[in-house]
């Protein structure tokens, strides 16, 4: 057996509450191992009350970066030195990157979705409908707009949150955006290229379906879901039954992880390795 040149690992990880349910570490460590990187990804349970101490600890221990998940994506900002462009517009950070000794906040959720979508529908000049206006919807909307989408329709129950997101897109990006209050069954307009469920409807509920007119899904529509558990949500099954191309939430999760590894190490990992490890960890 060969002896490594150094017994010291480069440290990354994740800070969240409810960390025991987070399968991300399995795919990140699989990617590090596959690419021969002496890096580790530590899944850390961090209560809100000690987040600032935890970030100071990460600095003290020389962490190269870390992911932030619920409930730290906004609160972590005050512990950082600067924000990347899309994280600043989104107003949330899920990935901290150490650059020249500074902790920079990035957001890879929207980029993860974008990379997944690009495999079947490059969004430039496209008209896209997003269900939801929460954290995931915000990150996705901003990245789609920065990637050149022509128009985004935000469909949300809470009118204040929905119109605020449409306003953010209109004022901070070159895309146009409109808001539709989700108070009745939503019908996908003929002009729309894709429908994206960015709500939590369907999470751990295989039968739950967003309130949409299923007959408005056409065979040339792309239907995407951010929910990754179950992987095949009822929405994706209904879309497939109508001949639509569909994208599951695991693709977004895998690609946000791959982007984080790229930010931290400079190496573009093989997304297939991450996906296989994630599927294995989740038993799918």
With contact defined as beta carbons under 8 Å apart, do 196 and 224 qualify? Answer: yes
- Binding site residues, ligand NDP, CB under 6 A: 109, 112, 132-137, 156-158, 161, 182, 199-201, 203, 226-228, 249, 252-253, 256
Helices (H), the chain: 24-34, 51-60, 85-90, 109-118, 135-146, 159-172, 234-241, 249-265, 271-282
Nearest distance from residue 3's CB to ligand NDP, in Å? 38
User: Tokens 């994208």 map to which residue?
Assistant: 247
With contact defined as beta carbons under 8 Å apart, do 252 and 22 qualify? Answer: no
With contact defined as beta carbons under 8 Å apart, do 133 and 158 qualify? Answer: yes
Nearer to ligand NDP by C-beta: 134 or 148? 134
Point out the catalytic residue in the list 73, 190, 237, 245. 73
Nearest distance from residue 113's CB to ligand NDP, in Å? 7
Nearer to ligand NDP by C-beta: 38 or 135? 135
What value does the CA radius of gyration of the chain take, rounded to a whole number of Å?
Answer: 19
Measure CA 86 to chain center.
13
In the residue annotation, 245 being an active-site residue is answered as no
Coil/strand/helix, residue 131: strand
Nearest distance from residue 1's CB to ligand NDP, in Å? 37
What span, in angstroms and rounded, lies between the C-alpha atoms of 179 and 169? 11
Dihedral-angle region of residue 125 (phi above 0 means left; psi in -120 to 50 means alpha; beta otherwise): left
Nearest distance from residue 254's CB to ligand NDP, in Å? 8
Q: Which residue is nearest to ligand NDP (CB)?
A: 134
- Cα–Cα–Cα angle for 37, 29, 78, rounded to 5 degrees: 95
Nearest distance from residue 161's CB to ligand NDP, in Å? 4
Of 110, 165, 160, which is closest to residue 133 (Cα–Cα)? 165
Nearer to ligand NDP by C-beta: 10 or 232? 232
Dihedral-angle region of residue 126 (phi above 0 means left; psi in -120 to 50 means alpha; beta otherwise): beta
User: Tokens 């899920």 map to which residue?
Assistant: 94
Residues involved in catalysis:
73
């Amino acid at each position: 057996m060969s002896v490594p040149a150094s017994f010291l690992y480069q440290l990354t990880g994740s800070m969240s509450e409810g960390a025991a349910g987070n399968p991300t570490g399995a795919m990140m460590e699989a990617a590090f191992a596959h690419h021969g990187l002496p890096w580790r990804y530590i899944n850390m349970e961090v209560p809100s009350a000690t987040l600032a101490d935890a970030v100071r600890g990460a600095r003290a221990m020389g962490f190269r970066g870390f992911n932030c998940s619920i409930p730290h994506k906004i609160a972590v900002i005050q512990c950082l030195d600067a924000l990347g462009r899309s994280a600043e517009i989104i107003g949330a950070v899920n990935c901290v990157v150490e650059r020249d000794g500074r902790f920079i906040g990035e957001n890879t959720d929207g980029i993860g979705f974008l990379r997944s979508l690009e495999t079947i529908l490059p969004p430039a000049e496209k008209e896209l409908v997003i269900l939801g206006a929460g954290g995931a919807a915000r990150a996705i909307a901003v990245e789609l707009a920065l990637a050149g989408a022509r128009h985004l329709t935000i469909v949300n129950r809470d009118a204040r949150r929905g119109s605020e997101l449409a306003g953010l897109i209109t004022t901070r990006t070159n895309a146009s955006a409109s808001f539709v209050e989700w108070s009745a069954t939503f019908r996908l307009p003929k002009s729309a290229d894709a429908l994206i469920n960015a709500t939590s409807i369907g999470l751990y509920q295989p039968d739950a379906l967003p309130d949409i007119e299923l007959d408005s899904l056409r065979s040339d529509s792309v239907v995407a879901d951010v929910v990754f558990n179950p992987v095949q949500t009822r929405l994706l099954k209904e879309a497939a039954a109508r001949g639509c191309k569909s994208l599951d939430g695991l693709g977004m999760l895998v690609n946000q992880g791959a982007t984080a590894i790229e930010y931290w190490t400079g190496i573009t990992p093989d997304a297939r390795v991450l996906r296989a490890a994630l599927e294995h960890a989740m038993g799918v």
